[in-house]
Structure formats: structure tokens, C-alpha cells
Chains A and B, each alone.
Chain A
Amino acid sequence: MTREIAVVAFAQTDHRRSTEESSEVEMLMPVLHGVLAQSGLRTADIGFTCSGSSDYLAGRAFSFTLALDGVGAWPPISESHVEMDGAWALYEAWTKLLTGDADTALVYSYGKCSPGSVRDVLTRQLDPYYVAPLWPDSVALAALQAQALMDAGHTDEPALAAVGARSRADAEANPHAQLKGPVPHGDYVVRPLRTGDCPPVGDGAAAVILAAGERARRLCARPAWIRGIDHRIEAHGLGVRDLTDSPSTRLAAEKAGAFERPVDTAELHAPFTAQEVILRRALRLGDDVRVNPSGGALAANPVMAAGLIRIGEAAARIHRGESDRALAHATSGPCLQQNLVAVLEGDPR
């Protein structure tokens, strides 16, 4: 009875430390053209458009309005925006397609971290009265989480180093990755996290096209069907959460049907090595699951796009026949506060 909806195209920028020479719109345009070209659709063929971004990265209010000009919203389009990672824009688009109001959707997101200090910027996400005035930055909060995980006996520094090394080795095969190849584990940034445990700071954009039912089959040889997608949020205060666990990820995975059958691939949005350890446990991923073949967020972490890229990378593996059932995960907020899980499948071969 419910409509089948699939990811039929995915494109992303080459993620870079700085894109001073181009605006957000200029960064986004090739990606929009990329997904449209892949699917053979024109802007006028798109039933619904939804984007994700953050004014705080751009440093100005209503920053997404300019990106809309790049989409070419004329004649006027049915369009919406979430002030979240693009993975949640994809969720909104998915519900729109479920209602039957549209058959195709364009989803995009972008983030430029280079104009400011993203560590400082992200402190503005915290409770504005009691926590934000202390400016605890994103790396310091992730370090708290990593230390809690070590104290609980779930990991140690060599294990974390191995996560970083594996991610960046895998990123060698990803032409869009920012950081790839042998990268030393490096010095401590905030104990116990070293540079190799932290994501690179970078700029980037991504876009996806969704289509329903037969439309998807016509647009893509092997659509990546969204079998389930769900997201959950946890308490904001770090003091009331068990930082060694991710119950919201587990619940989202359950609701998305991730535990019904094993997956062969998982694209996890884990900007810090210790977070991959937590997510693997919450998602019950065995050693036989290929985790972050793209290199993951440790190889490229354009804030606001990195979650959408996980869905795109998982879908692209299904398109290419490298996966039959993949899990994609996106996160938002300090220490994995909010998590989204999508389960994607290709038609049986």
C-alpha cells in the first residue's frame, strides 16, 4: 500500500579545506547539474525540492535563499528547507513523496566551514544560558565521549587509531575525499583524541534525487529503495546521557527495519573515531559489514552535508551493484544527540 521510494542519483563536490574563491551557490551548482544529468531530469521535472543548511556556517541570516536562486526556481517550485543536515531534508522529501503529492524530489545540502572556526561556531548549538557561555567546543565534547568510552572498557587508543587509519586508507578510492592515504595518528588535540581521531575541516555540497515506484525504475538501472527511514533525538544535556551508548540510533534503526535482515554495507556519520565504536555497537554491526568504504566523515566532513553524503554513498554502492542492502546513518548535535538511520536495498539480482 505504501509507495516505494528510491534514491536514483547522487552527486557531491570534491571536499576541500577552503573554497574562498567560490560562493555557496557556486559550490552547489555543479552538484545540482550532476544529479540532474545522471537522472536525465530537468529542474521543471522535479516535483518537490528540499534543502538543508545552516545560517551559522554562512554567518548570515536566510543564507539558503541564495542557493534557491541557483536551483532555478522559475516558474515557482514546491520547495522547503530544514535548518539541519541534508539527511533530514531527504526525510522531509520522502514523506512528501509518500503522500503522493510528488513523484520526484531534489534534495541538496551544503556547508562551508572555512570562513570561521567551526569548533567555535558549533558551541552556539549548546544550551544558550548554562553551557554555551562556557564555549566548550565540539572536539572537547567528543573527547569527553571518547574518554567515557575508554573508561567503560569499550575501546582504547590503538583501536581508535585503527579506525582512523582504515577510514583514510579506504578514502584513497574516493575521488571526492579531502583527507586520504596514510595519515599519522598525530598529536593530542584534546585528550584522548589525536588529530587522526578528528575529522578534517572542509567545505562541500551534495545532492540526491528521489523517485517513487515505476518512475524510479525508469530513471535508474538499479534504484536504491528506501526500505525504512527514521530519526530520533536525545536529551541535550550531556550529564543526563550515557555517552558510551546511542539509544536514539538503536531506536531509529529498529523503526527503519535495520535489524530485520543483515546489511552488507554501513555508511556511518561518525566524525570522531570513538563515535564509530559507539555506532557499531548500537547498530549491532558485525565484522563482516563493510563500514564506511567511502572513508566516512573522517575523510571529509562538510558540516550539514556529511549526513546526506552517507545516504548518497550507500545508494551509489547499490546503484553500482556493490551492495544489496545498506544502512546509512546521519548525526547532529553534540556527542551524537540526534541520529537518523535509513535502510536501502537494490532489487534482487
Chain B
Amino acid sequence: MSKEPVAVVGIGQTKHVAARRDVSIAGLVREAAQRALEDAELTWSDIDAVVIGKAPDFFEGVMMPELYLADALGAVGKPMLRVHTAGSVGGSTALVAANLVAARVHGTVLTLAFEKQSESNAMWGLSLPIPFQQPLLAGAGGFFAPHVRAYMRRSGAPDTIGSLVAYKDRRNALKNPYAHLHEHDITLEKVQASPMLWDPIRYSETCPSSDGACAMVLTDRAGAARAPRPPAWMLGGAMRSEPTLFAGKDFVSPQAGKDCAADVYRQAGIADPRRDIDAVEMYVPFSWYEPMWLENLGFAAEGEGWKLTESGVTELDGDLPVNMSGGVLSANPIGASGMIRFAEAALQVRGQAGEHQVDDARKVLGHAYGGGSQFFSMWLVGARPPQC
């Protein structure tokens, strides 16, 4: 049985900022959705279903906000699904929407992810204690710092690598009008001199808290044929999950991430990701996760990821650009962050990425992870439709 090919024909983002006090949650999501529709030159009535995602409801203090957002997203009278898979949710949401098209349940689907972090405090939203369970401490940095340490010890990476990633991503963000952080006076020395928050993670090596939304219009072959601009084609997509805590878990390079990437590469016919993939939008909320995920995703051998970063391979003009948009380090509306990675990957293969466009990007990977490095979602998009 063959699946319907899935095309991205519309992409919209908000300018990500610390606080969008000028709009409600509904206003925020509508802005991104409208931009995606404009990009696709479609109207609300062309949309058959809406799939929405965001990270925990506690971040805005609204339980199941899709109910309240049905009107703002033109979903009245349509099917509306709400996905929640922790930090990977933006990616998972896009994949659930893609499956509706692939299964031929719907022809054209609007998918959207958002976070309006200014409505509450995400750090404490993640720190509600429960008995007999390791709490997330004060926010995510406390949870992930020991795993970064483990990576450094295991790989022998010099302790300068994290700052190189942050310096690169923040410079890339200057070329992306939607990125939250535009630090025009950024220098490597400034990153290295920033305060230590969760050793070895410095202030400038962490993501900001952002308000923002990202939307995409996904459609079938017939819809793609009518698209006004070149579509991005989904060549592979997968999700994998593993338990939060157990004795055999490798927090530095989780098996679920490896399996997820392998599934995507199999679907897309990728034999050697380092050679066959042109660029990567990777979920890097703390700078050290770039070398860690380079290994987890098969772009470098175990313990070698930091060498790609150090030698400039992941720079915007490098051989394998990573986070051309500035990444999660430069804008982190949590629930939307995964979808932004997916959308930025699609922008690249459509040749629509503006100043942060990579020349001749034909195949680009979008990556997201969440929970205690336990939920993974990824897709690989290409400039040409899948062979079938």
C-alpha cells in the first residue's frame, strides 16, 4: 500500500520575543496561521483539518487551549487534534498532521505550534514536585547539565566547544528576522565571560524564554501542483520514545534518538547522512547539545561530534550547516520550537530562507527532542518529491 506524498506549501512564523503583550494567545496563533496561508495562497476554507501542539498547559495556565483556540484557527466545523509530546511536540504535531495527508484522510491540513511563555513562568511550570520521583530541579538546565558533563568526560571535548556553538547560533540569528535574540554586539569573548548557570552551561549558552508560534500548510500531490511557490517534500518522518529513567539509559546519546534517525534515513534512502544531507535544523536548547546530537544523529562517530563544531563544519558557510536560523538558542517558544526546526528545514529546500539560506540545500533534516531526552521527532525534507 502506498502513502500519499506530503508537501509543505505554506510556512508562517511570528517574530519571537520575550513577551507579546499586544496580542492574546488567540491573536498570536492566528498571526502565524495567517502567514502560512498567505505563503500558500490559500484561505481558511481550503483547510480540511487543524492539528495543534504546544508544551504543557501549565505554561499558559489554560487547560486544553485548543478548545478556546478553535475559532481563532478557523477550525469550527472541522476536525481539530491537539498533540503534546513535551519538548518534541512541535515536530510531533507536524508529523501527526502529515499522517492525515499521507493516509489520505484529508487533502490539506493546517498545523501549528505555539508557546506564550510570558503568560506564566515556564521554569516553575516544569518544577511542580511529585512524590518519589526525581524533580526537574529548577527548570531544564539543572536536569541536562550533568549529561553535558558526561559527554565532555566521555569524548574528551575541550570546554570551549559550547561557546563556539552559542557564538555561531547567535550570529546566524542576526540573519533571521523572526529570531528572538538579535545580539548585534555578540563576541566569542562575551559568551565565554557570561555567568555560569549550571556548570558547565553558561548564561549565553542557554535558550531564551519566548512568545511565538509557527504554522505550516501540508498538502497532497494535487495540492502541491497548485502551490504558488516550490513545495518542500517530506522524504521521511518518525517519532521514537523511551522511558525517562532506567538503569540502561544513555543520557548522552539516547537509543530512541538513534532509532528515530535510522528510521527517517531508511524512509528517505539516506545511506550516509554526513554526505547525503545538506543542512540540519537541530533542537539545541543548551549549546553542548550540538556536538552531542551530531553523534546521536549519525553525522559523526561517537566522541567525534565536537570536532565538526570546532573545525567550522557546522557554520552557516560550512560543509554541514547546523541551525542556520539561529536555532533554539536564539528563540525558544517551547511548544513551537520543534515545529520551527521542521519549518526552517522546509524553508531551506524551498530556497525561501532569505539571508540564512544555504546554497543549493536539497535535503535538510528537522529535529526535535523532549522530556528527559526521551521523546524524539524528526523529518527529512527535500526539494524533489519522493520516488514512488
Tell me the A residues contacting B by CB distance below 8 Å: 1-3, 49, 54-56, 59-62, 64-66, 68-69, 72-84, 88, 91-92, 95-96, 98-101, 121-122, 124-129, 132, 230-237, 247-248, 251, 332-334, 337-338
Interchain CB contact (< 8 A) of B81 among A88, A96, A128, A251? A88
Rounded to whole angstroms, the CA-CA distance of A128 and B375 in the bound complex is: 29
Using known A-B contacts A99-B3, A124-B61, determine if residue A74 contacts B248 with beta carbons closer than 8 Å: yes
User: Contacts A60-B128, A233-B80, A338-B80 given: A65-B61 contact, CB under 8 Å?
Assistant: no
Question: Cβ of A231: which chain B residues have Cβ within 8 Å of it?
Answer: 79-80
Known: A124-B63, A125-B62, A237-B71. A68 touches B241 (CB 8 A): yes
Known pairs A69-B243, A98-B104, A337-B67. 17 more at Cβ < 8 A?
A2-B104, A55-B84, A60-B130, A62-B126, A65-B372, A73-B242, A74-B246, A75-B259, A76-B259, A79-B240, A80-B85, A82-B82, A96-B99, A98-B105, A233-B70, A236-B67, A237-B71
Chain A hits for B244, CB < 8 A? 65-66, 68-69
Q: How far is the CA of A237 from the CA of B67 in the complex (A)?
A: 10
User: What CA separation (Å) do A262 and B259 show in the bound complex?
Assistant: 46
Neighbouring B residues of A338 by C-beta, 8 Å: 67, 70, 80
Distance (whole angstroms) from the CB of B323 to the closest CB of chain A: 25
Q: Are B99 and A125 in contact (CB under 8 A)?
A: no
Given the known interface contacts A73-B243, A132-B62, the answer about A235 and B70 at a Cβ–Cβ threshold of 8 Å is yes
**Residues A83 and B57 in contact in the complex (CB < 8 Å), given A76-B242, A129-B24:** yes
17 A–B contacts from the bound complex (CB under 8 Å):
A49-B241, A55-B56, A56-B63, A60-B128, A60-B129, A62-B86, A73-B241, A79-B240, A82-B83, A88-B82, A95-B96, A98-B105, A125-B64, A233-B67, A236-B70, A332-B67, A334-B67
- Residue in B95, B103, B260 with the greatest tally of chain A CB atoms within 10 Å: B103
Confirm or deny: B256 has a beta carbon within 8 angstroms of a beta carbon on chain A.
yes
Give the distance to chain A from B213, nearest Cβ to Cβ, in Å.
Answer: 16
**Does B371 have its Cβ within 8 Å of any Cβ on chain A?**
yes
In the bound complex, residues from chain B placing their C-beta under 8 Å from that of A81 are 83-85
Q: Is the CB of B371 within 8 A of A232?
A: no
Q: What's the minimum C-beta distance from A62 to chain B, rounded to whole angstroms?
A: 5
Query: A64 touching B84 by the CB < 8 A rule?
Result: yes
B47 at the binding interface (Cβ < 8 Å)? no
Report A308 CB to chain B, min CB distance, Å: 15
Chain B 212-253, CB-CB to A under 8 Å as 1, else 0, gives 000000000000000000000000001111111110100000
- In the complex, which residues of chain A have a beta carbon less than 8 angstroms from the beta carbon of B239? 78-80
Q: Within the complex, what minimum Cβ distance (angstroms) separates B244 from chain A?
A: 5
Quick one: closest A residue to B56, CB to CB?
A61
Task: Check A128 against B62 for contact (C-beta < 8 Å).
Answer: yes
Are A235 and B58 in contact, with the CB atoms below 8 A? no
* Interface-central residue, B61, B96, B119, B263, by most chain A CB under 10 Å: B96
B76 touching A92 by the CB < 8 A rule?
Answer: no
Q: Are A61 and B125 in contact (CB under 8 A)?
A: yes
Query: From residue A243, how far is it (CB to closest CB) to chain B in Å?
Result: 15
A103 to B36 alpha-carbon distance, docked (Å): 34
Contacts A99-B99, A129-B24 given; indicate if A233 touches B79 (C-beta within 8 A). yes
CB distance from B122 to the nearest CB of A (A): 9
> Most chain-A CB neighbours within 10 Å: which of B63, B76, B85?
B63
Closest to B242 in A: A76
Q: Separation in Å of the B100 CB from the closest CB of chain A?
A: 6
Residues of B within 8 A of A (CB): 1-3, 24-25, 55-71, 75-86, 92, 95-96, 99-100, 102-105, 119, 125-126, 128-130, 133, 238-246, 248, 254-256, 259-260, 263, 371-372, 374-375
Q: How far is the CA of A235 from the CA of B104 in the complex (A)?
A: 26
**What are the 7 A-B residue pairs with the smallest beta carbon separation, nearest first?**
A61-B56, A76-B256, A98-B103, A83-B84, A79-B241, A124-B63, A60-B128
Report the minimal beta-carbon distance from A304 to chain B, rounded to whole angstroms. 10
With beta carbons under 8 angstroms apart, the residue of A79, A122, A126 that contacts B68 is A126
Using A65-B372, A88-B81, A95-B105 as known contacts, say yes or no to A74 and B242 having CB atoms under 8 A apart. yes
A2 to B103, CA, bound (A): 9
Known A-B contacts A55-B56, A59-B128; the reply to A99 vs B64 at CB < 8 A is: no
Cα distance, A215 to B61, chains bound together (Å): 43
Contacts of B242 in A (CB 8 A): 73-77
A121–B61 Cα distance when bound, in Å, is 11
Q: For the complex, what is the distance from the CA of A3 to the CA of B2, rounded to whole Å?
A: 11
Q: Which residues of B contact A96 (CB under 8 A)?
A: 99, 103
In the complex, the chain A residue whose C-beta lies closest to that of B263 is: A78
Give the chain B neighbours of A2 by CB distance below 8 A: 104
CB distance from A72 to the nearest CB of B (A): 8
Residue of chain A at shortest CB distance from B92: A80
Interface centre among B55, B76, B248, by most chain A C-beta atoms within 10 angstroms, is: B76
Please name all residues of chain A whose beta carbon is closer than 8 Å to the beta carbon of B84 when the two chains form the complex.
55, 64, 81-83
B58 CB to nearest A CB, Å? 5
Given contacts A75-B255, A96-B99, A337-B67, contact A61 B79 (CB under 8 A): no
Residues of the A chain whose Cβ atoms lie less than 8 Å from the Cβ of B129: 60
> Are A66 and B82 in contact (CB-based, < 8 A)?
no
Of A83, A100, A129, the residue contacting B1 (CB under 8 A) is A100
A252: nearest residue on chain B (CB-CB)?
A: B79
| Residues of the A chain whose Cβ atoms lie less than 8 Å from the Cβ of B80 | 231, 233, 338
Q: How far is the CB of B245 from chain A (nearest CB, A)?
A: 8
Q: Which residues of B contact A233 (CB under 8 A)?
A: 66-67, 70, 75-80
- Interface contact A61-B128, CB-CB below 8 Å: yes
In the complex, which residues of chain A have a beta carbon less than 8 angstroms from the beta carbon of B243? 68-69, 72-74
With known contacts A74-B248, A100-B1, A121-B63, A55–B68 Cβ distance under 8 A: no
